[in-house]
Amino acid sequence: MIDVLYVEDNPDDVDIFKRVVGKIEQPPSYKVLNTGIEAVDYVLRRGTYQNKETSTPKMLLLDLNLPGNNGFEVLQQIRSHNQGRTLPIVVYSTSDNPKDMREAFDLGANAYLIKPGGYREVSEMLQRAIDFWVAQRGQH
């Protein structure tokens, strides 16, 4: 059972994510994947994850700019399967283009967070997101 599945290809962002999570009092469990294909396989239990024991995360934190399948394709593929229909997906991207935001929501994203680019702001944003999608849900 993991709380957060983080799909991100930028090692710096992953590094900061780990740092932020590490500072949380009751840190959530997480798994980091680097490509969109892996993320889809993981969630839908396909490919290399076909026979492995995986669990549905409480939240998918999804970068848009990914090698291979980008974030939009990940969204589209996950949302087109039953297993992925109820998974909370939070897009986490550098892009502040309204078009990208609209498209992400159209494809079924639950939230869209613009990467603020700074330690203090990133910490606040990630903590709030984890608090909302993981910790709050966990209490129920």
Residues forming the site for another protein (CB under 8 A): 10, 12-13, 16, 19, 65, 94-99, 115, 117-120, 122
Nearer to another protein, 48 or 97 (CB): 97
Residue 54 CB, nearest approach to another protein (Å): 29
Q: Which is nearer to another protein, 23 or 137 (CB)?
A: 23
Q: Give the Cα separation of 115 and 37 in Å (integer).
A: 22
DSSP 3-state assignment of 65? coil
Closest distance to another protein from the beta carbon of 56 (Å): 29
Tokens of 90: 């939070």
- Element spanning 54, H or E: none
- Between 2 and 101, CB nearer to another protein: 101
User: In angstroms, what is the minimal distance from the CB of 134 to another protein?
Assistant: 22
Question: Looking up tokens 């897009």, which residue turns up?
Answer: 91
CA pair distance 128, 140, nearest whole angstrom: 18
Cβ closest to another protein, residue 44 vs residue 93: 93
Give the whole-angstrom CA distance, residue 85 versus residue 78.
7
Type of residue at 110: N
Least distance to another protein, CB of residue 92, Å: 12
